[in-house]
Amino acid sequence: MNDAVTDHNSPLSLTIATRESRLALWQAEHVQSLLRARGHAIELLGMTTRGDQILDRSLSKVGGKGLFVKELEVALEQGRADLAVHSLKDMPMELPEGFELACVMEREDPRDAWVSSVCADLESLPQDAVIGTSSLRRVVLLRAALERLGRDDVKIEPLRGNLDTRLRKLDEGGYHAIVLAAAGLKRLGLESRIRKVFSPEEMLPAAGQGALGIELRQDRTEVAAALAPLAHRATWLAVAAERAVSRAMGGSCSMPLAAHASWQGEPLTSPLRLDAAWGDPDGRIALVRVHAVASVTGLDAAEALGQQVVELLRQGGATRPADPIAP
């Protein structure tokens, strides 16, 4: 890095590292076209990550979110790529030394969607039905909803793979219904597969769901400057509050944790409401669900709201994975 003043308007030649699933490529191409429209020359570098290769085991058992980003970070480290586009939901809370989350873009629909050709919603599932999902968050929230309905006959079975794989497994008849992020389906033009979107009251989304994050090496200030126009402040503050909850709770794929922030009116000027839900992975405590509302005008206030919600979760009995559970 030299100390010369960077000309923020000068066109850059940049390479985006991306996973090769259809959704990851859509997201990388989306960023590519936005940057191209601003005069930059943008290439894509597609790569397969460990998370893409391991399809037979639940992600929570094999190492969590980092699995989808490590190879991309190595490409950034080695200078083979300049930026990596991620679903924010899949990004670890703590990035390795030298990397930063440089840009959060406007969020797509953050909600979860019910996909099924046999039944319109949870309420109309046939006896002994099978729902597919491998997300511990979705499992815990679905179990709570099924319990409310008195449906102890319904089974929840693991379902992994990228969006197309999961839809194919549904179509092959392995499940009566599956639950997926609405954002991914909409981005891939598969909105017609959505039978119903869950309200956050029914199925609270994961931290960052529906938002895209761009990761860079911290020393690439000229790249950060080129990305600045793509950032969406209302989304950034909302997901900062959500991610503060995940960070404090040690959030990973191995913990059923939901955190969802929504502006109560006009984004940025209205209060921000942050909801969180924590499920005991061992089923020893019932679901803990809390929320708080605050005026949030900057990152510090967003994180403070996150902290407030963490306190409420702890008061309700939520613990970090490493914390011993009181007898």
Residues that bind ligand PBG (CB under 6 A): 87, 89-90, 180-181, 183-184, 209-210
Task: Please name the helix (run of DSSP H) or strand (run of DSSP E) that holds residue 266, with its range, or none.
Answer: none
Q: Smallest gap, in angstroms, from Cβ of residue 3 to ligand PBG?
A: 37
Q: Smallest gap, in angstroms, from Cβ of residue 209 to ligand PBG?
A: 4
Of residues 274 and 312, the one with the C-beta less far from ligand PBG: 274
| Residues 157-181 as b or e (16 or more Cβ within 10 Å = b) | eebbebbeebbebbeeeebbbbbbb
Structure tokens at 182: 């609405």
Of residues 73 and 220, the one with the C-beta less far from ligand PBG: 73
Residue of 82, 90, 112, 275 with catalytic role: 90
Are residues 287 and 297 in contact, defined by beta-carbon separation less than 8 angstroms?
A: no
Of residues 89 and 243, the one with the C-beta less far from ligand PBG: 89
Q: Smallest gap, in angstroms, from Cβ of residue 285 to ligand PBG?
A: 25
Task: Please name the helix (run of DSSP H) or strand (run of DSSP E) that holds residue 122, with its range, or none.
Answer: none
Q: Smallest gap, in angstroms, from Cβ of residue 107 to ligand PBG?
A: 8
Of residues 184 and 306, the one with the C-beta less far from ligand PBG: 184
- Residues near 37 by beta carbon (within 8 Å), at least 6 away in sequence: none
Distance of alpha carbon 111 from the chain centroid: 11
- Residues near 300 by beta carbon (within 8 Å), at least 6 away in sequence: none
- Residues near 243 by beta carbon (within 8 Å), at least 6 away in sequence: 88, 93, 207, 208, 259, 306
Verify whether residue 90 is a known catalytic residue: yes
Of residues 24 and 292, the one with the C-beta less far from ligand PBG: 24
The span from the CA of 213 to the CA of 61, in Å, is 25
Q: Smallest gap, in angstroms, from Cβ of residue 32 to ligand PBG?
A: 17
| Residues annotated as catalytic (active site), given as ranges | 90
